Amino acid sequence: MRAPASTLDVARIRADFPVLAQTVRGKPLVYLDNAATSQKPRQVIEAMSRVFEEHNANIHRGVYEFSERTTAAFEEARSKVARLVNAPSEREVIFVRNATEGVNLVAYAWGRDNLKRGDRIVTTVLEHHSDFVPWQQLAAEVGAEIAVVDIDGEGRLRRDQMSAELCKGAKLLALTHTSNGLGTVNPVREIAAEAHAAGATVVIDAAQAVPHTPVDVQDLQADFLVFSGHKMLAPPGSGVVWGRAALLEKMRPFLYGGDMISRVSVAMTEWNELPWKFEAGTSSYVDAIGLGAAVDYLCAVGIEKIHEHELALVGYLLPRLSEIPGVTVYGPRTLDDRVGVVSFNIEGIHPHDVATIFDREGVCVRAGHHCNQPLMTRLGVPATTRASFYLYNTTEECDALTRAVHAAKKVFGV
Amino acid sequence: MYRDYILDHYKNPRNSGELPGATHTYHDSNPLCGDELTMQLRISDGHVDDVRFSGKGCAISQASASILTEEVKGKSLDEVKRIDREHVLANLGIPISPARIKCALLGLKALKGAAWGLTAWPGEEVKAK
């Protein structure tokens, strides 16, 4: 396995993240749960504090300077997000709380009017519950069918099965760009092209992709693409739905209320223009502004460089972890088409016990089903232990992880 | 947290397996961890004649259930019904973090379900089809 060399100045990056200087039970914090949420750099924290301390006011409402300044910062964040994913227009970028709300927006506002009895939804066993449960429930409601495409032994999507399912006809493809459980990156562009040929609308869950790899909605030929800000250095409460304007314009709103209207009378209401038609109520504007600052930070470092850095860490960790007796690693064994997620189990120790012992060593990992229960069932395990990297992680932290594996084995005598 | 007796109960669970002639059985699970636990009682003359549990899961859930079975054997059904969480946590004798409380109490939950002759825990009827 040849890992690309990292070109990041990690020491300098780490200095931007106050929390990384913390200790846990007297040991340095080793934060390896980035697929769950990322830590926040000073630049994001300060951008948000500046709003509160210098010009906080509700957006799109006040005709005074503070409101105008806050509105400008909010809309500037939208522009930054649009540039990040190469959206053709800022009108297509809708701020929501997180990827889950994004999928629900599409399921309610597009799905309910476009899916009917007998229609087919094609999805995969790799989906996070956020991109599975909304479609499962919608299918039950309207009487649509769901086809779930399987993976191979390395956690890669069965392309033959995907093609076969799409060939049978599909109204919707709900596909994760990158698996949060295994780190697999799917060939989204290829599959989206097949889906469109089959007449399907393509919804991409990019929650694990946008933080770690360059994502271009036009290149991928997606119709909708959702992601969360909190996994990419931004605060929780910031999330994005990108959708094609032609689709968004035809859709009914998701939530009704303030700000999403252009005119209301007692008898009827006209909707606001895109994107505000989908942003009812006072939005989490400070979180969105934080997301804008996070995009600036990630772009200044370079997303491609971050991806290479994470692959270098996987290349370092995988052989060291795999050679430990009793350790089973799930997911891709090579560095092709993957991100910095490493899922594993230690024979004879439940993942929750693993994570508890790791915690004593200062190592934070996720243990459980990762909101991936269909995937866990497919793997034949109740849960896994998952380490996931970001731009501030180091090979020394990989060593801390393998030391913690040995510590857990020692405690359990396995 | 992983004291020797906890690990001993995990690796060598007491009263483990299927109970022949069980009069009271309750199965419960903790979907967050994937812990599964079945508690079986054989009650005669209002007393726990025998008890067994079976399951799979983390060391905390399995050891806690194992310790509990040792305690209830021979007790009256009323005494079993009165066992509370504080008692179980004290008996475990290790600090349990908030995230692991459900693991530590899964055995008690299954035991109570069995002792009260429940088919489903109140409020969880949908889950237990």
The ipTM value here is: 0.87
The reported pLDDT for the residue numbered A63 is: 86
Q: Which of A347, A352, A359 to mutate to test the interface with B (most CBs of B within 10 A)?
A: A352
Restricting to B residues 12-31, those with a Cβ less than 8 Å away from any Cβ of A are 31
Residues in chain B closer than 8 A to A369 (CB atoms)? 31-32, 34
Average pLDDT over residues A384-398: 98
Is the pLDDT at A278 greater than 50, yes or no?
A: yes
The reported pLDDT for the residue numbered B129 is: 41
The reported pLDDT for the residue numbered A375 is: 95
Band the pLDDT of A62: cuts 50, 70, 90: confident
Q: Return d(Cα A83, Cα A290) in angstroms, integer.
A: 16
The reported pLDDT for the residue numbered A1 is: 65
Residues in chain B closer than 8 A to A357 (CB atoms)? 2
Residue A151 or B123, more confident: A151
> What is the 3-state secondary structure of B42-65?
EEECCEEEEEEEEEECCHHHHHHH
Q: Distance (Å) from the C-alpha of residue B59 to the closest C-alpha of chain A?
A: 7
For the domain that residue B96 is a member of, what is the CATH number?
3.90.1010.10
Q: Return d(Cα B69, Cα B67) in angstroms, integer.
A: 6
Type of residue numbered A106? V
Indicate whether A292 and A311 sit together in one domain. Answer: no
Average pLDDT over residues A250-255: 97
Contact state of A369 with B56 under an 8 Å Cβ cutoff: no
Q: Distance (Å) from the C-alpha of residue B61 to the closest C-alpha of chain A?
A: 10
Q: Return d(Cα A118, Cα A319) in angstroms, integer.
A: 47
Domains in chain B, number: 1
Residue A155 inside a domain? The answer is: yes
User: Could you read off the pLDDT of B43-57 as tens digits, one per residue?
Assistant: 999 999 999 999 989
List A239's β-bridge partners, or say none.
A96, A228
Indicate whether A74 and A159 sit together in one domain. Answer: yes
Is the pLDDT at B126 greater than 70, yes or no?
A: no
Residue appearing with tokens 């100045």: A9
Q: What number of residues does chain B have?
A: 129
Is the pLDDT at A413 greater than 50, yes or no?
A: yes
- For chain A, the average pLDDT equals 96
The reported pLDDT for the residue numbered A391 is: 98
Q: Distance (Å) from the C-alpha of residue B94 to the closest C-alpha of chain A?
A: 13
For the domain that residue A336 is a member of, what is the CATH number?
3.90.1150.10
How many Cβ contacts (< 8 angstroms) between chains A and B? 45
On whether any CB of chain A is under 8 Å from the CB of B34, the answer is yes
Closest CA to B111 of B19, B7, B25, B16: B25
Q: Return d(Cα A214, Cα A210) in angstroms, integer.
A: 6
CB A384 within 8 A of CB A181: yes
* A11 Cβ neighbours under 8 A, 6+ residues apart: none
Indicate whether A66 and A177 sit together in one domain. Answer: yes
Residue A229 inside a domain? The answer is: yes
Indicate which residues of A carry an active-site annotation: 371
Percent above pLDDT 70 for chain A: 99
Domains in chain A, number: 2
The reported pLDDT for the residue numbered B128 is: 46
Residues in chain A closer than 8 A to B13 (CB atoms)? none
Q: Distance (Å) from the C-alpha of residue B39 to the closest C-alpha of chain A?
A: 20
Domain boundary at A285, A300, A315, which? A300
Is the pLDDT at B38 greater than 60, yes or no?
A: yes
Residues in chain B closer than 8 A to A356 (CB atoms)? 1-2, 97, 100
Contact state of B59 with A369 under an 8 Å Cβ cutoff: no
Dihedrals φ, ψ of A236, to 5°? -60, 145
Residue A255 burial (CB count, 10 A)? 14
The least confident of A58-62, A174-178, A386-390, A398-402 is A58-62
User: Could you read off the pLDDT of B60-111 as tens digits, one per residue?
Assistant: 999 999 999 999 999 999 999 999 999 999 999 999 989 899 999 999 999 9
List A18's β-bridge partners, or say none.
none
Rg, Å, chain A Cα set: 22
Residue A375 structural domain: 10-31+302-412
Indicate whether A360 and A287 sit together in one domain. Answer: no
Contact state of A352 with B58 under an 8 Å Cβ cutoff: yes
Residues of A with CB under 8 A from a CB of B: 349-353, 356-357, 368-369, 373, 376, 381-383, 411-413
Is the pLDDT at A337 greater than 80, yes or no?
A: yes
